[in-house]
């Protein structure tokens, strides 16, 4: 019997976006399947964060549609998307700096989708999430005193506290040491084991290539190719986009 095709979690269909007349996304289509870790790669300015901003309701597309489990969510505001089950950890962590790690997660538990924990159960739930991201031993630390990897862990715990089905992670490996990147890869894979679908992006390739089941490569607002990581990085257009050897039409400027 042929293996069952997994259900579509997120479908991006022919999305385009321009800023001040300059096209930064051109007819982008991709699918994230339920239960997978999909990686999005592309050099600086390829349009990765803009696509994430469109999916999470921070930016409206000029054209195209976003479906989440078959429902058209195009243009929904972030709060509504959060309640529908889409969460995001930001490139720059945005915790409440004066609050402890535990307090930060408690606040997100309050805003999430579905039934809230009874107030007396919330601290236990928050602790379980801190445990899941490897931050349990720092629950009482004020978040501004956490180092970068721990701030990213906290950012993910806060996103998880909203009880998402789909989690988008933007550049969680940026600025991390090789050991911390390895820990981040393990964390992403652990999250999937807990039933999440993940869509991750990282302009340094390491985290995305190591953690993802499948990779989509973009350059200059367009999808170049997709497939298993080892095939995608060998694709000539992907290699040249990263190395800056692609002859850009009318200029030949370096990408990096």
Ligand X SMILES: Nc1ncnc2c1ncn2[C@@H]1O[C@H](COP(=O)(O)OP(=O)(O)OP(=O)(O)O)[C@@H](O)[C@H]1O
Q: Report the DSSP pairing between strands 214-219 and 37-41.
A: parallel
Q: Which stretch binds Mg ion (CB under 5 A): 44-52, 64-72, 145-153, 187-195?
A: 44-52
Q: Which is nearer to Mg ion, 48 or 88 (CB)?
A: 48
Q: Kindly state the smallest distance separating residue 52's Cβ from ligand X, in Å.
A: 8
Q: Is beta strand 71-72 parallel, antiparallel or unpaired with respect to 63-68?
A: antiparallel
User: Is position 18 an interface residue for ligand X (rule: CB under 6 A)?
Assistant: no
**Least distance in Å: CB of 70 to ligand X?**
26
d(CA 192, CA 182): 16
- CB nearer to Mg ion: give 10 or 46: 46
**Using CB under 5 A, which of 24, 41, 49, 169 touches Mg ion?**
49
Q: In angstroms, rounded to a whole number, what is the distance separating the alpha carbons of residues 49 and 42?
A: 10
Shortest gap between Cβ of 10 and Mg ion (angstroms)?
18
Residue nearest to Mg ion (CB): 49
19 is an interface residue for ligand X by CB under 6 A: yes
User: Which residues in 41-70 contact ligand X (CB under 6 A)?
Assistant: 42, 44-50
Q: Which residues contribute to the site for ligand X (CB under 6 A)?
A: 19, 24, 42, 44-50, 203
């Amino acid at each position: 019997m042929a293996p069952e095709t997994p259900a579509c979690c997120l479908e991006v269909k022919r999305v385009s976006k321009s800023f001040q007349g300059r096209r930064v996304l051109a007819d982008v289509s991709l699918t994230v399947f339920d239960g997978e870790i999909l990686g999005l790669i592309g050099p600086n300015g390829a349009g990765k964060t803009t696509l994430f901003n469109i999916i999470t309701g921070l930016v409206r597309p000029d054209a195209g549609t976003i479906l989440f489990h078959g429902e058209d969510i195009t243009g929904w505001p972030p709060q509504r998307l959060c309640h529908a089950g889409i969460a995001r950890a930001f490139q720059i962590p945005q915790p409440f700096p004066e609050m402890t790690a535990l307090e930060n997660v408690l606040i997100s538990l309050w805003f999430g989708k579905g039934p809230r924990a009874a107030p007396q159960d919330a601290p236990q739930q928050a602790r379980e999430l801190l445990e899941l991201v490897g931050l349990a031993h720092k629950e009482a630390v004020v978040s501004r005193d956490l180092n970068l990897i721990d701030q990213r862990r906290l950012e993910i715990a806060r996103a998880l506290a909203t009880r998402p089905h789909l989690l988008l992670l933007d550049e969680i490996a940026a600025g991390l040491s090789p050991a911390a990147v390895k820990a981040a890869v393990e964390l992403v894979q652990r999250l999937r084991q807990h039933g999440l679908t993940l869509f991750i992006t990282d302009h340094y390739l390491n985290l995305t290539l190591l953690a993802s089941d499948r990779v989509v490569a973009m350059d200059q607002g367009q999808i170049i190719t997709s497939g298993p990581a080892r095939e995608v990085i060998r694709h000539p257009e992907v290699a040249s986009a990263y190395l800056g050897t692609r002859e850009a039409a009318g200029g030949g400027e370096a990408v990096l």
